[in-house]
């Protein structure tokens, strides 16, 4: 397994690093480090403008095939792009769900007409997407979806009724991809369809959910007679499960590797805070910080190994279960970092800052509170362990009532 970069890859690293240095200046300089989990409300309009600036210079959808508007970068060049973007503290991009999930899904499963309609607008950051998967009774158990869709009497539209929850950025998006039950009486993963639904219509009610961190990037979305064109179903009607699972396969792609760069910066910040507060003199705390540093390097190496296995076409446990293992490892690591940050900050960590707002958290308090969700969203720890046990190791399925 060769994890080294070629001369061509290194030249590409210089190219993207130089471009970011030249462009994250002037009006864009204030956006460095803005946004991200728990902070998606920060300077949204400005980050949208920055994303369109990226698009104008060919830096969106870099891994997509050239014929679909991308750059056609190799797997390792995509890794380099995301690493350098994170190192430059580029602002959190507003188009992640469209660029990393919806676009690749349409390229893999969509019709030429659907691709022509939506892909150029994703590349140009003209339309943003939300994910309509989870429901109050179908979170980790996605196959329990109860949202229903039926064809209108004239057969020209789907009519949708139901509720989705934890719908990221639905209040800022124009479209949502929805898993809905289109075959009455069907159960589990049978009879589901993958629909593309406009959010700006009377039949859609988006209600933001306020979080502990003060933001509202997640939403409840209620569909009451909402409509979308009959041809906006991806894949076959009633066979949306493979499409839905295919999209989740894109969810833990190369962009997630850049998390380790952000995490390294957060860890360095906690170390600096420990030096300022004197907590660094505590040998137990120093040991925890050293352990976090070593664990992060192992996490990054494992992620690279998993990507290498996928690129090589390996179907081994390392390759097949790499996404679930990586999710388990980084989510729990990030929670431990948040706990150490609170320990380093000491009693001050219990108080919000004095400001014009009654609930103003510093970055370490936000880190601690938002990281509590890391082991839940994107597939809970329990679900990831079941996937590894049943699908990778071949163990008997967990008993279900």
- What pLDDT, on a 0 to 100 scale, did the predictor assign at position 35? 83
pLDDT digits (tens, 9 = 90+) for 330-370: 899 999 999 999 999 888 888 877 766 667 788 888 899 98
Burial class of residue 289, CB neighbours in 10 A (0-12, 13-18, 19+): buried
Of 12-16, 56-60, 394-398, the least confident:
394-398
- What pLDDT, on a 0 to 100 scale, did the predictor assign at position 307? 67
Element holding 13 (H helix, E strand): helix 7-23
pTM of the model: 0.83
**For the stretch 114-131, what's the b/e string if a residue is b when 16 or more beta carbons lie within 10 angstroms of its beta carbon?**
bbebbbebbbbbebbbbb
Catalytically active residues, by annotation: 251
Q: Which long-range contacts (CB under 8 A, 24 or more apart) does 40-46 make?
A: 40/92, 40/168, 40/169, 40/215, 40/217, 41/215, 41/216, 41/217, 43/91, 44/94, 44/172, 46/91
Instruction: Report the alpha-carbon distance of residue 359 to residue 101 in Å, rounded.
Output: 34
Half-sphere exposure of 313 (CA within 13 A, CB side): 0
- What pLDDT, on a 0 to 100 scale, did the predictor assign at position 23? 96
φ/ψ (deg, to 5) at 257: -65, -30
pLDDT digits (tens, 9 = 90+) for 161-185: 999 988 888 999 999 999 999 988 8
Of 108-117, 230-239, 280-289, 313-322, the least confident:
313-322
Instruction: Report the alpha-carbon distance of residue 72 to residue 61 in Å, rounded.
Output: 9
Whether residue 245 has pLDDT greater than 50: yes
CA dihedral 127, 133, 137, 140 (to 10 degrees): -130
pLDDT digits (tens, 9 = 90+) for 49-72: 999 999 999 999 999 999 999 999
Cβ contacts of 29 within 8 Å, gap of 6 or more = none
Instruction: Report the alpha-carbon distance of residue 182 to residue 385 in Å, rounded.
Output: 31
- What pLDDT, on a 0 to 100 scale, did the predictor assign at position 140? 66
Do residues 220 and 163 touch, judged by C-beta distance below 8 A?
yes
- pLDDT class of 310 with cuts at 50, 70, 90: low
3-state secondary structure of 285: helix
- pLDDT class of 253 with cuts at 50, 70, 90: low
Structure tokens at 131: 């994910």
- pLDDT class of 317 with cuts at 50, 70, 90: very low
Rounded to the nearest 10 degrees, the angle between the axes of helix 283-311 and helix 322-345 is 160
- What pLDDT, on a 0 to 100 scale, did the predictor assign at position 314? 42
Cβ contacts of 17 within 8 Å, gap of 6 or more = 84, 87, 88
- What pLDDT, on a 0 to 100 scale, did the predictor assign at position 188? 84
Half-sphere exposure of 168 (CA within 13 A, CB side): 17
The fraction of the chain above a pLDDT of 70, given in percent, is 91
What SS3 string covers 307-376?
HHHHHCCCCCHHHHCHHHHHHHHHHHHHHHHHHHHHHHHHHHHHCCECCCCCCECCHHHHHHHHHCCCCC
- What pLDDT, on a 0 to 100 scale, did the predictor assign at position 121? 96
Whether residue 4 has pLDDT greater than 70: no
Average pLDDT over the chain, rounded to an integer: 86
């Amino acid at each position: 397994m060769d994890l080294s970069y070629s001369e061509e890859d290194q030249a590409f690293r210089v190219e993207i690093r130089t471009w970011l240095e030249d462009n994250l200046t002037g009006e864009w300089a204030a956006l460095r480090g803005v946004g991200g989990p728990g902070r998606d409300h920060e300077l949204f309009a400005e980050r949208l403008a920055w994303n369109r600036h990226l698009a104008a210079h060919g830096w969106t959808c870099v891994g997509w095939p050239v014929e679909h508007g991308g750059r056609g970068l190799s797997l390792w060049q995509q890794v380099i792009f995301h690493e350098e973007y994170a190192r430059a503290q580029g602002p959190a991009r507003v188009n992640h769900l469209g660029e990393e999930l919806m676009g690749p899904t349409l390229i893999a499963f969509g019709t030429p007409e659907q691709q022509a309609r939506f892909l150029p607008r994703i590349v140009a950051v003209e339309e943003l997407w939300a994910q309509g998967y989870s429901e109050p009774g179908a979170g980790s158990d996605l196959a329990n979806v109860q949202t229903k869709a039926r064809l209108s009497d004239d057969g020209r539209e789907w009519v949708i009724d139901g509720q989705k929850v934890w719908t990221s950025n639905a209040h800022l998006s124009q479209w949502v991809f929805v898993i809905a039950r289109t075959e009455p009486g069907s159960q589990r993963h049978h009879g589901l369809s993958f629909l593309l639904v406009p959010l700006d219509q009377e039949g859609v009610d988006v209600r933001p959910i306020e979080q502990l961190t003060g933001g509202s990037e997640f939403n409840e979305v209620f569909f009451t007679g909402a409509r979308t064109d009959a041809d906006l179903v991806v894949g076959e009607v009633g066979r949306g499960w493979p499409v839905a699972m295919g999209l989740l396969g894109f969810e833990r792609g190369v962009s997630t590797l850049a998390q380790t760069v952000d995490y390294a910066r957060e860890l360095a910040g906690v170390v600096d805070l420990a030096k300022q507060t004197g907590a660094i003199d505590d040998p137990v705390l120093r040991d925890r910080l050293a352990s976090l540093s070593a664990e992060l390097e192992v996490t990054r190496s494992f992620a690279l190994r998993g990507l290498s296995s996928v690129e090589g076409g390996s179907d081994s446990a390392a390759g097949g279960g790499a996404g679930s293992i990586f999710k388990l490892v980084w989510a729990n690591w990030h929670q431990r970092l948040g706990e150490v940050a609170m320990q380093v900050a000491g009693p001050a960590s219990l108080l919000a800052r004095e400001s014009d707002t009654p609930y103003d958290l510093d970055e370490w308090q936000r880190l601690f509170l938002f990281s509590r969700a890391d082991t839940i969203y994107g597939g809970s720890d329990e679900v990831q362990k079941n996937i590894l046990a049943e699908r990778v190791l071949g163990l008997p399925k967990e008993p279900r009532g």
